[in-house]
Structure 1
């Protein structure tokens, strides 16, 4: 069942048009990757879905219902959460306090689900060990785990991840990506913006390649070739594999 979809999604920053009729969908428990060069429109897509940019209601649908332009807090209430680029944690607060902010928000919004602090500690044991540590004193990878954990504690049906591997050591990236199957096992759909094409292919079911605000290639991650991806990165018409 399709959980989230976009239909002719158009987005602008003032007079600058950043997205041109983007159609992307993700099913319950599915993981899809958005790949493409810098400036292709990947992060803009996530911002548009999350209500951070003004778009028409019918351009974004959650379980078939138009939700485009819905304010971000209401998107969280509806079950869409984002792990933003740059993490955006509450510095000066501990790991646990950052996570409890998400728990309190979920309670206020009436979001129910299976993610608890205890379960999150099983997914990322370091977060239990560092519970009383200020997030500003964590490594980049540990901060990313807090950011992912905070999003999960909002009990999302759809999790948007913006460059969660950016700037991290390979060992940490492997640890973070190893947690994704457990997240998906709960029925959570994932949309991953990822620069590492090999990582994107190994961790997802389908890939959407973007170029200059348009989707230029779609297909199963296991089928798309590096040659097709290279062509889609730099030009060519929209291809479906």
Structure 2
């Protein structure tokens, strides 16, 4: 792909002496949605952490707009235009919905990030966040908390949005509501990386997908062209296939 917004090149990541990623090559274009699928422990969340600067990696292993940025601290990654919706949401408990979102607005202002996301636009995307503005986040349902987490990331005005298991533990109706917001998120050119356990959901919500197994890419291709048999083989073993 020419003109990739974000790419990795032979990305290797470790937790101490344990190697979790082995030479991952990945790229995503402007406004594209790319899914990362794979079983638990495949390295999907580790990949996001490595890209986000939460794990030490060599600078040339992660590039944005062709510029090496690997190992850049997470706050500076936000400044460069990369934001993450972390697994487990990690909201500021004891604070209201509004205050959690204001933290992101203030961070974007401090870092000089400008973009199309405002509190009012976010409230149109997820009206419940306006209705629950003064509610402590720990009193929300899981789905509502996930909307706060997504909203907080959007208010950082990302060029690339990393989403780590945003459907995990949620009711099907809530999952549909959250995924229905993706087209608007992408409409202004935001690229979305989706780590997702639900293969069908990952395929329907993305343009392309990568399957990981034990820290290696075992399948890449357009989401609409990859078959369930190919995915099954990639999930459980087999050589790297490009569709």
Mapping 1:149-160, distance limit 5 Å: 149-160=151-162
Task: Look up the match of 1:148.
Answer: 150
Cα deviation, residue 2, structure 1: 0.9
Task: Look up the match of 2:49.
Answer: 47
Cα deviation, residue 163, structure 1: 0.1
Task: Look up the match of 1:4.
Answer: 6
Distance 2:201 2:69 in 1: 31
Task: Look up the match of 1:239.
Answer: 241
Kindly tell me the number of residue pairs found equivalent between the two proteins: 241
Distance 2:81 2:206 in 1: 21
Distance 1:155 1:38 in 2: 30
Mapping 1:84-123, distance limit 5 Å: 84-123=86-125
Query: Which of 50, 56, 59 is the equivalent residue of 2:58?
Result: 56
Distance 1:126 1:24 in 2: 35
Mapping 1:145-184, distance limit 5 Å: 145-184=147-186
The root-mean-square deviation of aligned C-alpha atoms, in Å, is 0.4
Question: What secondary structure is seen at the aligned counterpart in 2 of 1:192?
Answer: strand
Distance 2:138 2:14 in 1: 34
Distance 1:20 1:198 in 2: 26
Distance 2:195 2:26 in 1: 13
Distance 1:169 1:186 in 2: 28
Cα deviation, residue 186, structure 1: 1.1
Distance 1:187 1:199 in 2: 21
Question: What secondary structure is seen at the aligned counterpart in 1 of 2:5?
Answer: strand
TM-score computed with the length of structure 2 as normaliser: 0.99
Distance 1:28 1:207 in 2: 15
Query: Which of 183, 199, 202 is the equivalent residue of 1:200?
Result: 202
Task: Look up the match of 1:73.
Answer: 75
Distance 1:100 1:186 in 2: 22
Structure 2: stretches of 5+ with no match in the other structure: none
